[in-house]
Amino acid sequence: MGLFQRIGDIISANLNDMTDAFEDPEKRLKQAIREMEQCIADAQQETAKVLANAKLISAELAKNERLAGEWQKRAEQAVAAGDDNLARRALSRKQEHAKLIVALEEQVMAANDASQTLRHQLGGMQSKLAEAKRNLAALAAHRRSAEFTNRVQASEAAFHAVATGADAFGKFERMREKVERAEAEAGALAELRGMELPLTRAGSSLGSTADDVIDAELSELKRRLVG
């Protein structure tokens, strides 16, 4: 496929249709941008060659126009000098350059038309390239937004799962506390019941000890007072 055809295809391409037709539009658009950039680089080189060729042809045209003018002057001088043979030779050389001038003028026009066409198509390609880059930026932004939304939804789901688990742990903790409280109450009741008999015995023992003290104090008083 020629450069002109490739350029025309890219200029006429509908980028929206291009992206809608593929499962991964961002990847396809990146590929299209790379192809566009390559085509633009090729077209720029081609345009540069055409412009350089047009300059060379224009220089050759100017040269032949100058030489034709010089031979015209020589012919006029020969006529003024009465030398018809020299005038004929000068006019013959002038005609040679005149023929070249006609051919070169056609080449210059063709080169200028080609360069204008390439310039116009380059402008169209650059516009399409800018549009493709805008579409790519929009697609990338949409993808980032979708990824962010997915992360938020995943976080919400994880939070819900944690919250559900926390509620289950809370129920277990409340049940554990009830069991421990019941065990503590049972232990305290058993302890209270076990202390009734020891308390009676302890009270009896405490009473005997007090009598002994009183008896001892009484004996001491008698000793000091009675002698």
pLDDT at 105: 94
Residue 177 included in any domain: no
Residue 219 included in any domain: yes
Can you read off the two tokens belonging to residue 203? 């009270």
**Cα angle vertex 135, ends 117, 133, to 5°?**
55
Region 98-105: mean pLDDT is 94
Residue 166 included in any domain: no
| Contact in structure between 22 and 136 (CB atoms under 8 Å) | no
Can you read off the two tokens belonging to residue 225? 């007072």
pLDDT at 114: 86
Angle between helices 84-194 and 196-226 in degrees, nearest 10: 60
Residue 213 included in any domain: yes
Residue 179 included in any domain: no
Is 205 a residue whose pLDDT tops 50? no
Is 94 a residue whose pLDDT tops 50? yes
Q: How many Å apart are CA 90 and CA 77, to the nearest integer?
A: 10
Please identify which residue in the block is written with the tokens 């077209």: 43
For 173-198, write each residue's pLDDT tens digit: 777 777 777 777 777 667 666 654 44
> What are φ and ψ of residue 75, in 5° steps?
-60, -40
pLDDT at 70: 95
Give 107's pLDDT tier (boundaries 50, 70, 90): very high
Same domain? 117 vs 7? yes
Query: How many structural domains is the chain composed of?
Result: 2
pLDDT at 56: 93
Residue 60 included in any domain: yes
Same domain? 123 vs 26? yes
Can you read off the two tokens belonging to residue 29? 């658009």
| Contact in structure between 54 and 112 (CB atoms under 8 Å) | yes
Residue 182 included in any domain: no
217: left (phi over 0), alpha (psi -120 to 50) or beta: alpha
Q: How many Å apart are CA 83 and CA 74, to the nearest integer?
A: 11
Same domain? 33 vs 103? yes
Q: How many Å apart are CA 84 and CA 75, to the nearest integer?
A: 9
Same domain? 202 vs 130? no
Same domain? 147 vs 223? no
The range of the structural domain enclosing residue 211 comes to 195-227
The larger pLDDT score, comparing residue 168 to residue 134, is at: 134
Region 37-54: mean pLDDT is 86
Same domain? 59 vs 145? yes
Same domain? 210 vs 144? no
Q: How many Å apart are CA 69 and CA 91, to the nearest integer?
A: 10
The larger pLDDT score, comparing residue 1 to residue 130, is at: 130
Region 60-89: mean pLDDT is 92
